[in-house]
Structure 1
Amino acid sequence: MNYYAIRVIYKHEMRRAFETVAQSFASPILTTVLYFVVFGSAIGSRIESVGGVSYGSFIVPGLMMLAILTQSLSNASFGIFFPKFTGAIYELLSAPVSFVEILIGYVGAAATKSLIIGLVILGTAGFFVPIEIAHPFWMLTFLVLTCISFSLFGFIIGLWATDFEKLQLIPLLVVTPLVFLGGTFYSIDMLPEAWQTVTLFNPVVYLISGFRWSFFEIADVSVAVSIGMILGFLIVCLGIVWWMFRTGYRLKQ
């Protein structure tokens, strides 16, 4: 394992994030705070509690997931797409570095940035509403697994995309709607029975449900199923990345 190569890629990506603090950290945090203020005030005035938890506190895990998913995708996809766009990817591919080391460097940096954003949002939310974490270990487990798995997904998007328009296609048209319809601001128990069944086909529901359980011990679906879904997604993403590097898909063109 070439740890030096991993460290170089990781430090380069993290340096780029801290050189653009406003875009990398301040913007998603400010956006989440605005979501929190608007939804917490507008809807919270009509819904006192959900499952025995005040509405303001209830939406905190969902808002964290919203920020983590979008930032993991954007950080990882842009991180690998930009070297492709400039042609620097060929220097990386010709270096004595395996795809595993490239993957760890880029995905590790993207996951780290998303993890930092998630924890900062959690700390910021504490200024607005009281927050209690029933299962800190499982909260961190869900947080880390989500950051890694969606950074992997973003890495795949970055390899697949051939221009900046495609780079934003899946995050904007697929992932963001799934997050908003996945129980970010509500419990699926509040929906009509038919829509509850439809919602269960949304994979994001399982992520948010499991993450919310780690806070308040309330969940829309089984926690074991939530963990299984995210682990399954992680394995599928690893398999796709392995195939893309093995075949040179969108890398050697």
Structure 2
Amino acid sequence: MNWRAIQAIYIFEMSRTARTIWQSIVSPVLSTSLYFVVFGAAIGSRIPEIEGVSYGAFIVPGLIMLTLLTQSTMNASFGIYFPRFTGTIFEILSAPVAAFEIVLGYVGAAATKSIILGVIILATSWLFVPLSIAHPFWMVAYLVLTSFTFSLLGFIIGIWAEGFERLQIVPLLIITPLTFLGGTFYSISVLPPFWRDVALVNPVVYLISGFRWSFFEVSDVSHGVSFAMTLLFMAICLAVIWWMFRTGYKLKR
């Protein structure tokens, strides 16, 4: 394992975050805080509780997951796309660095940024609502696994994209709508039977449900199913990245 190469890629990507801290850290935290004010305070005052949990606290896991999914994807996609755009990707590919080490450096940095954001938002949420975590271990597990999984997805998007516009298509037009429809602000149990079945096709439902279970022990689907779906999605992303490097898809031409 070439740890020096992994460290070099990781530090370079993390230093970019330090240079754009307002865009990378401050802006997402402020946006999420506005959700707390609007949904937690204004709307939450009209909804006493959901499944025994105050509405303000109920939306906290969903808001953290919303940030994790979008930021992990966007950070990782830009991280690998920019070297492709400038042509420096060929220097990395020609260096004595394995594909796994390249992926670990870029994805590790993107996931770290998302985890930092998730922790900051979690700490900020205590300023707005009383919060308790029933299963800290599983909360951290979902936080880390989700960050890495969607950073892998972002890495795939960064290789697939032909321009900066394409980098925004999946996060803005697919992931964000799926997150809003995945139970971020409500439980899918309140939906009519038909739409509840439709919602179960949405993979984000399982991520939010499992993460919420780690806080309050309430969920739309069982914890075991949620965790298995998270691992399955990660395995699919790893398989796609392996295929991309094996075939040189948009990397060697």
State the TM bucket, normalised to the shorter chain: over 0.9
Q: Which letter does structure 2 place at the counterpart of 1:96?
A: P
- Please give the per-residue CA displacement for 1:163-209, whole angstroms capped at 9, x wherever unaligned: 01111111111111000000000001111111111100000000000
Give the C-alpha shift of residue 45 in structure 1.
1.8
Counterpart in the other structure of 1:36: 36
Partner residue, 1:105: 105
In structure 2, how many angstroms separate the alpha carbons of the residues matched to 1:27 and 1:236? 31
Give the structure 2 partner of residue 124 of structure 1.
124
**2: distance between equivalents of 1:53 and 1:222?**
18
Matched with 2:211 is 211
Residue type of the alignment partner of 1:125:
S
Q: Which amino acid aligns with 1:24?
A: S
Distance 2:130 2:172 in 1: 32
Give distance in 2, aligned partners of 1:170 and 1:119: 25
What corresponds to 2:96 in structure 1?
96
Match of 2:12, SS state, is helix
Deviation, structure 1 residue 82: 0.3
Q: Which residue of 1 aligns with 2:79?
A: 79
Which aligned runs of 4 or more in structure 1 are off by greater than 3 angstroms?
none
| Rounded Cα–Cα distance in structure 2 between residues aligned with 1:224 and 1:7 | 34
Structure 1 equivalent of residue 6 of structure 2: 6
- Structure 1 match to 2:171: 171
- The CA distance in 1 between the partners of 2:146 and 2:249, in whole Å, is 25
Q: Deviations over 1:51-84 (max 9, x none)?
A: 1110000000000000000000010000000000
Return the alpha-carbon distance in structure 1 between the equivalents of residues 137 and 150 of structure 2: 20
Counterpart Cα distance in 2 of 1:130 and 1:40: 11
Displacement, 1:41? 2.2
Percent identity, aligned pairs only, is 65
> Offset at 1:19?
1.1
The AA in structure 2 aligned to 1:207 is L
Superposed displacement of residue 40, structure 1: 1.1
Instruction: After TM superposition, give the deviation of residue 42 of structure 1 in Å.
Output: 2.7
Q: Deviations over 1:17-52 (max 9, x none)?
A: 011110110010000001111111232122100011
Could you tell me which residue of structure 1 aligns to residue 157 of structure 2?
157
> 1:186 maps to what in 2?
186
Q: 2:221 is matched with which residue?
A: 221
Please list the CA deviations of residues 116-167 of structure 1 after superposition, one character each: whole Å capped at 9, or x if unmatched. 0000000000011111000000000011000000000000000000101111
TM-score, structure 1 as length reference = 0.99
Return the TM-score normalized by structure 2.
0.99
Number of aligned residue pairs: give it: 253
Question: What runs of 5+ residues in structure 2 fail to find an aligned partner?
Answer: none
- Aligned-partner residue type, residue 40 of structure 1: G
Aligned to 1:239: 239
**Which residue matches 1:141?**
141
**Which amino acid in 2 is paired with 1:111?**
A
CA distance in structure 1 between the aligned counterparts of 2:194 and 2:41, rounded to whole angstroms: 29
Secondary structure at the aligned position of 2:44 is classed as coil
Equivalent-residue separation in structure 2 for 1:123 and 1:52 (angstroms): 22
Structure 1 CA distance for aligned equivalents of residues 159 and 61 of structure 2? 30
Distance 2:215 2:83 in 1: 39
The farther-off stretch of 4-13 and 39-48 is 39-48
Question: Which residue is 2:54 aligned to?
Answer: 54
- Which residue type is aligned with residue 106 of structure 1? Y
